[in-house]
Amino acid sequence: MMAAAEAAYAGAKVTLLEKNNKTGVKILMSGGTRCNITHDTDAKGIAEAFGKSKRFLQPSVGKFGPTDVIKLFNEWGVPTKREDTGKIFPVSDRAVDVRDALHRRMLDAGIRLEKQTAVLNISRAEATTSNEPGGQWRIAVSRNGAQDELHADRVVVTSGGKSWPGCGTTGDGYPWMKALGHQIVAPRPALVPLVGGTEATQSLSGLTLPDIRASVFTPDHRSGKKPKLERRSSWLFTHFGFSGPAAMDVSGVMTECPSIREARLRLDLIPDVAATELRTLLSDRSSERSRRSLLALLQQWLPSRLAGHLCQANCPSDPNVNLSQLPGKALQTTIESLKRWELPVHDTRGFAKAEVTAGGVQLSEVDPRTLESRIVPGLYIAGEILDVDGWIGGYNFQAAFSTGRAAGIAAATGGTN
């Protein structure tokens, strides 16, 4: 919708093909139906959230960043608010307001919207004669079971990835791009809940930790001594494993491994307390504090359920032990549990529960300024179909808006903006 509106306002005659019976289905579901449209940061902060893809996104996000998105939605009658996490939501907490604003804007720009029209294939047209429809592109479509063919001078593909397939994002665009000569980095779930843990951690289902640090170590990352990715945010224990922003943010680098079991997930449950400080507290044998129980100390930082679980795990013979009587082995294992707790992960909830798709069209084959294919002139590729995936918190919507805008303008004008 962003690409279509920008192309139309830039002077192009635009047709938008939508296979669903309404536009923006994924918007309506996002953010718990509230739609986190962007994040309170600058263009550099947005790009940083995309790891190896950050350089590719810099030109488009740099010319249309978070403040531009916020300003535009405000102008469209959708006031926004900033939450403590930095996430930007509509004041109404209604994703439908975001979708409706985008929908109205593109219609106001004069685009032609064809709903329930599924694209089957995109191909370059042969040289046309005066008796044939104009346009160097042929788009095979299906409408209510009947096939048809449309023609265009330029094509912008924003068909998304494979996450939330119930919204219609079922990876349709990958075979189109592959047939046109593009390399496709194998799509995989990202921003997805993790399946794993132990019977003990699954018994903590429903427990939220508001501030932890999650680190992922992978075999391909240097010596394995430094994490490939660290994210500090909230964490949720579930009956199947783990969820919440921190778990979902690190999921993408875990699914990048040939087997997710090769990735090691480690939690720092108390990131504001250094390991040296913790050791001093636990090894105190003389002060008044040493008369406290280990459980009482852990309850300073952790919910009672988790504190009790760690006491039982590290001091099974006496979970209520006082600090002054804490055995040396229990002291060390308690530090490990609090600062370097390794949790097993053997799978994810898959594309059905993933918020975004990692992988997609190889970025080296797309011009980051215009989003035009370097393989096939006149083809523009934007959004989640590209090999870009960022953190939770509005980053991925921002990337979609920025790349969509750049692609729409470039497709209409043949230039950059």
Residues 232 and 338 in one domain: yes
Closest CA to 177 of 363, 351, 22: 363
The tokens for 135 are 């346009």
Tell me how far apart the alpha carbons of residues 56 and 6 are, in angstroms, rounded to a whole number: 21
Closest CA to 203 of 314, 354, 310: 310
Residues 233 and 296 in one domain: yes
Residues 6+ away with beta carbon under 8 Å from 341: 266, 267, 268, 269
**Which pLDDT value is given to residue 131?**
44
Residues 42 and 154 in one domain: yes
Q: What order do you get walking across the sheet with 137-143 strand by strand?
A: 117-124, 137-143, 146-152
The tokens for 179 are 């047939």
Containing 38, the helix (H) or strand (E) segment is strand 38-39
Residues 156 and 30 in one domain: yes
**Which pLDDT value is given to residue 232?**
97
Residues 123 and 248 in one domain: no
CA angle 383, 387, 389 (to 5 degrees): 75
CA–CA distances in Å: residue 265 to residues 346, 348, 368: 11, 13, 33
Residues 84 and 126 in one domain: yes
Residues 217 and 142 in one domain: no
**Which pLDDT value is given to residue 291?**
80
Furthest CA-CA distance within the chain: 97
Grouped pLDDT means (10 residues each) for the chain, 417 residues: 98 97 96 96 98 97 98 98 97 98 98 97 72 75 94 97 94 98 98 96 97 94 78 97 98 96 97 95 77 90 96 88 89 96 97 97 98 97 98 98 98 78
Domain that holds residue 86: 2-186+358-413
The tokens for 104 are 């109205």
Residues 42 and 19 in one domain: yes
Q: What order do you get walking across the sheet with 208-217 strand by strand?
A: 341-343, 264-268, 208-217, 229-237, 241-243, 194-196, 345-348
**Which pLDDT value is given to residue 130?**
41
Tell me how far apart the alpha carbons of residues 380 and 36 are, in angstroms, rounded to a whole number: 26
Q: What is the pTM of this model?
A: 0.93
Q: How far is CA 253 from the centre of its chain?
A: 12
Residues 66 and 142 in one domain: yes
**Which pLDDT value is given to residue 223?**
53
Residues 49 and 127 in one domain: yes
For the chain, the domain total comes to 2
Residues 301 and 218 in one domain: yes
Provide the CATH number for the domain around residue 48: 3.50.50.60
**Which pLDDT value is given to residue 129?**
45
Residues 20 and 146 in one domain: yes
**Which pLDDT value is given to residue 222?**
56
